[in-house]
Structure 1
């Protein structure tokens, strides 16, 4: 890359995007792409992947085509680019025939620098012929894990993108993703037929995200309590089924929360409406299936909740990565019930493709191991992606409240005896009813209120016994017979514990949410709250006026810097992260006026 091109890249970074310095690794990737080299980029969500191809697209003459899997992703990035003064467009089914023609005309007249589209359209024979007559400077494949059969979101149409290198061998190709283990990385390289690519694998760590897990007992109440701690914050709650998203959203709405549901079964106009309300801060919470959120750049999502266990660690990592993209503190909360994992496993076992089924079941088992880990969750997560860490993070539930073990022999004997004396015909819920001494009609009709194990566990709450039951299943002392309605049955390993021939140590049941760090202090330790609130109000006013998401005007990080530094001149305003020449011209006067007025009142 020539010195002038390198200088041009830095100037674009400052003038167009408003950043003084490249993030770690960005400059090397940009330089190599500008020199015409292929690249595979694995960089965490919020790590600045988009700039790695957007800046080369602007430095080099010609047009860049960005392959993207979802309409929502395309619109989000194009809106952000246009707000910075970049000539960008997307080409998809959400546009009218006339609008699509306009994009095609702008492509051929040299008026566009970046065009976003899906792989199916790009690879159509008629469109490939069109590409032959265009000055293309780069192909960028976003969410590149979709290419690989080992990836968590394999898409056959993505696998066909290897055609690009055959047809356009001299045009650089960059594949970008936040979630790719070693097998997925190698598959991407092979399928895309790269020529001596730069392989840039960056840290998977997102230190600003606090990883938390709680066992599900009364999930709706637990969720309501959690959301009560996050009032007026943006958040996403993921569920595994469409019906669950609708039911949960309605129950939360009844509780007075600002919430909508989102799933692929809704009409496209309705989905678009929900997404717009969310990214424009007009709805706080979206309860969604995994169909929601891929590639959405909304930076101020403060929490992501998984109401049920995801199918694999890659999905979990990508979905939790939608929290805290602005670098400010955020939380990833997983509500865990082993029964949820059983339901997901049954669904995966219906896959008739044996190889794909084997891959998916392996990935589910790894996700379950993560959920049941007694060691630092961040270590488990990073180790999965080959980034081995031997230091605990201090920012997950296991680090904040390390598991404590105790001699659970007596408690285990109570449970095992109760399972045995009730005939090994019942599930966890009923066994706990007998332990607790519940005077239900069913218990009485079966005569189980006369058993010696009736009410021997009345001194502990339901959640306590459920936690121990799950641990006994994990330890192999009990099994759930799926052919008999998940009835609990004793295994051979239970015999020595029941006979007091060997002690048993289990984890003390964790019945309350782990107390997080002082989130309010972390969020506001570098900003004046009063000015920050006024700046947010102004941003919202401008965003509504222009029908844009507030974060496209300025991010919370930019507003926080403004409230700390309180710039009063244009040159000072340009030193704020995320403020470039275009945004200075568009919004500088209003923000500077507000800051000056605030300063005069101090």
Structure 2
């Protein structure tokens, strides 16, 4: 290993001479590249903006330089023209990767819908970096046959899987459903088409322990797989988690409007992530209307607008305009703010984004990491801001992050670290919302002289403390929980459901938990309607209030409470078939992990009478 390592060092140094902007590799980049070229399977767990793509961009050239070594690895010896297959999940990302590689003077092409000229060049074996999504390589016999030809058996020196954290979540079905993109679970087939000993390099910025195990299993990696990990902690990004009211009406974004109005392009670029493209459109309209004339640079035409949108339904030419304008590579580079779904997250590189705003929590910690990772890729100070209110859909880890009960930095980054090495930054005001509150950077006064960022202050100013509060015993919490579950059951009794009871009624376990958590402040149906967006119906709000009163005012035991709910609600529902009055609405999810139609919570009441 040591002797081969020396030869790899020399080969890397020689390869770097052809790249003007890079003098040397970071230790982790070097470690990944060396192990990969020596024929080992490697999983690179490296932060967003770290330079993962440089590793595979260099690999063919370094392999070519290694062929003259007496210790050249076996899988490289036959490669007269070393090349790589790189699998990437999104077409937009593939296009970016091809362009970036070409800027370094490397031959790179996409196998996804190439022109006849490009296809001929690819099949001739004269392309160093061949990019594709799993569907293209797994399902298209033309490319599978290509890999089996003598030319490609000799020349392909490795298989790279980029953004590999999506392999298990997209490739495997959950809870008896259909896999979103089942070919992600078949990537291992491609390895069997390459010559024996061809190594696999898996790259990601966000894979927790469970995901890592799934990656090894699905890619059929060696039991001797090398894991190279760098803490994902991006110390130049200050993290914020801010609770807003369900009736916020975008008031939490007022600071952004004020900043763009006052400073224009000098304010800094911002990406606002929304959970669906309906919200993307609403935020876009709000910002353009609020900015008025300042929404445009010069003449009021679309290409001069400071605000843009990007989601799966955006026309290709509009997507290209947003990408080029936001990067500053277009002559119409006027965009300051882009409102987007997760379609604009993985791997997309905008070097100078100062603010990443999540208007609503991401579904999971991987998406949270990816979205925050779009900020500050130039290593200058930046902000990752999440606005949320109770009971928006997300996993338990994201929900805990949103509550902000402990350091956000440690909560986020330690989720992806095997060593859990991330600690709060000092001074605390540079770390996150939580640490700012306890910061005492002014040693003389043992307090913090730095005010909260404007994106936190403007929201906090609108929050109100409930005027009434009650103490709640553990027994009362248990009673209220049981009562709410009984009410949920009464809503669907004698119905045949196509979804779970929680999703059908909107009374999920997490929602019931939040009602119990807020029970010290619940004294009216209005409070319920104002603070729980899932409750769109006054009927439901009054029903919950009825149960709250039964628990706290009537002092019933568990049997009497359940009997009262059964008697009052089930008879009421039987007499009025409009309860619950929830229309069936199907919608296309706009995240890139769902292309088929799926129901949206609270607009998805799917049931039919048993008779």
TM-score w.r.t. length of structure 1: 0.63
Distance in 1, Cα, partners of 2:130 & 2:162: 13
Which of the residues 374, 377, 382 maps onto 2:405? 374
Q: Look up the SS of the partner of 1:338 in the other structure.
A: coil
Change (3 A) 1:71 1:17: farther
Corresponding position of 1:309? 361
State the Cα distance separating 1:113 from its structure 2 match. 1.0
**Are positions 1:253 and 2:288 aligned together?**
yes
State the Cα distance separating 1:110 from its structure 2 match. 4.0
**Are positions 1:142 and 2:179 aligned together?**
no
State the Cα distance separating 1:365 from its structure 2 match. 1.9
Corresponding position of 1:104? 119
Which of the residues 228, 232, 241 maps onto 2:258? 228
Asked if structure 2 preserves the Cα contact closer than 8 Å seen for 1:63 and 1:138, the reply is yes
Distance in 2, Cα, partners of 1:200 & 1:392: 24
**Are positions 1:279 and 2:327 aligned together?**
yes
Give 5+ residue unaligned stretches, structure 2: 65-81, 173-178, 296-305, 440-446, 448-464, 472-479, 481-512, 523-527, 556-611
RMSD between aligned residues: 3.1
Distance in 1, Cα, partners of 2:242 & 2:167: 34
Asked if structure 2 preserves the Cα contact closer than 8 Å seen for 1:208 and 1:327, the reply is yes
| Deviation larger for 383-392 or 309-318 | 383-392
Q: Look up the SS of the partner of 1:291 in the other structure.
A: helix
Corresponding position of 1:164? 190
Distance in 2, Cα, partners of 1:246 & 1:211: 26
State the Cα distance separating 1:415 from its structure 2 match. 5.0
Asked if structure 2 preserves the Cα contact closer than 8 Å seen for 1:147 and 1:156, the reply is no
State the Cα distance separating 1:14 from its structure 2 match. 4.7
State the Cα distance separating 1:26 from its structure 2 match. 1.1
State the Cα distance separating 1:494 from its structure 2 match. 8.7
What CA deviation, in whole Å up to 9, does each residue of 1:187-220 have, x standing for no partner?
1001111122211122121111110122224352
Distance in 1, Cα, partners of 2:541 & 2:212: 39
Distance in 2, Cα, partners of 1:297 & 1:286: 13
Distance in 1, Cα, partners of 2:378 & 2:334: 19
State the Cα distance separating 1:306 from its structure 2 match. 0.4
Distance in 1, Cα, partners of 2:514 & 2:210: 33
For these two proteins, the number of residue pairs brought into alignment is 414
Give 5+ residue unaligned stretches, structure 1: 345-362, 405-410, 418-423, 425-469, 499-602
Q: Look up the SS of the partner of 1:276 in the other structure.
A: helix
| Deviation larger for 282-291 or 152-161 | 152-161
State the Cα distance separating 1:249 from its structure 2 match. 0.9
Change (3 A) 1:6 1:88: same
Change (3 A) 1:253 1:110: same
What CA deviation, in whole Å up to 9, does each residue of 1:283-336 have, x standing for no partner?
111101112232112211221100111111111111110111122211101112
Distance in 2, Cα, partners of 1:324 & 1:92: 31
**Are positions 1:270 and 2:318 aligned together?**
yes
State the Cα distance separating 1:137 from its structure 2 match. 1.4
Corresponding position of 1:76? 96
Q: Look up the SS of the partner of 1:286 in the other structure.
A: strand
| Deviation larger for 382-391 or 246-255 | 382-391
Asked if structure 1 preserves the Cα contact closer than 8 Å seen for 2:240 and 2:384, the reply is yes
Change (3 A) 1:485 1:475: closer
Corresponding position of 1:414? 468
Asked if structure 1 preserves the Cα contact closer than 8 Å seen for 2:469 and 2:521, the reply is no
Change (3 A) 1:161 1:486: farther
**Are positions 1:212 and 2:240 aligned together?**
yes
Change (3 A) 1:416 1:203: same
Q: How does 1:3-22 map to 2 (within 5 A)?
A: 3-16=6-19, 18-22=21-25
State the Cα distance separating 1:146 from its structure 2 match. 1.4
Asked if structure 2 preserves the Cα contact closer than 8 Å seen for 1:148 and 1:159, the reply is yes
| Deviation larger for 220-229 or 369-378 | 220-229
Distance in 1, Cα, partners of 2:339 & 2:118: 34
Change (3 A) 1:224 1:313: same
Asked if structure 2 preserves the Cα contact closer than 8 Å seen for 1:211 and 1:397, the reply is yes
Which of the residues 474, 489, 504 maps onto 2:517? 474
Q: How does 1:191-590 map to 2 (within 5 A)?
A: 191-195=218-222, 196-217=224-245, 218-229=248-259, 231-232=264-265, 233-254=268-289, 255=291, 256-257=294-295, 258-280=306-328, 281-339=333-391, 341=392, 344=393, 364-386=395-417, 387-389=419-421, 391-393=423-425, 394=428, 395-402=431-438, 414-415=468-469, 474=517, 476-477=519-520, 482=535, 484-486=539-541, 489=545, 491=548
Change (3 A) 1:472 1:190: closer
Corresponding position of 1:132? 148
Q: Look up the SS of the partner of 1:7 in the other structure.
A: helix
Distance in 1, Cα, partners of 2:231 & 2:549: 45
Change (3 A) 1:149 1:225: closer
State the Cα distance separating 1:401 from its structure 2 match. 2.3
Between 1 and 2, higher relative CO (CA 8 Å, sep ≥ 6) is seen in 1
Asked if structure 2 preserves the Cα contact closer than 8 Å seen for 1:379 and 1:392, the reply is yes
Change (3 A) 1:259 1:183: same
Corresponding position of 2:588? none
Distance in 1, Cα, partners of 2:119 & 2:134: 16
TM-score w.r.t. length of structure 2: 0.62
State the Cα distance separating 1:275 from its structure 2 match. 2.5
State the Cα distance separating 1:166 from its structure 2 match. 2.6
Asked if structure 2 preserves the Cα contact closer than 8 Å seen for 1:477 and 1:491, the reply is no
Asked if structure 2 preserves the Cα contact closer than 8 Å seen for 1:162 and 1:191, the reply is yes
Q: How does 1:53-68 map to 2 (within 5 A)?
A: 53-61=56-64, 62-68=82-88
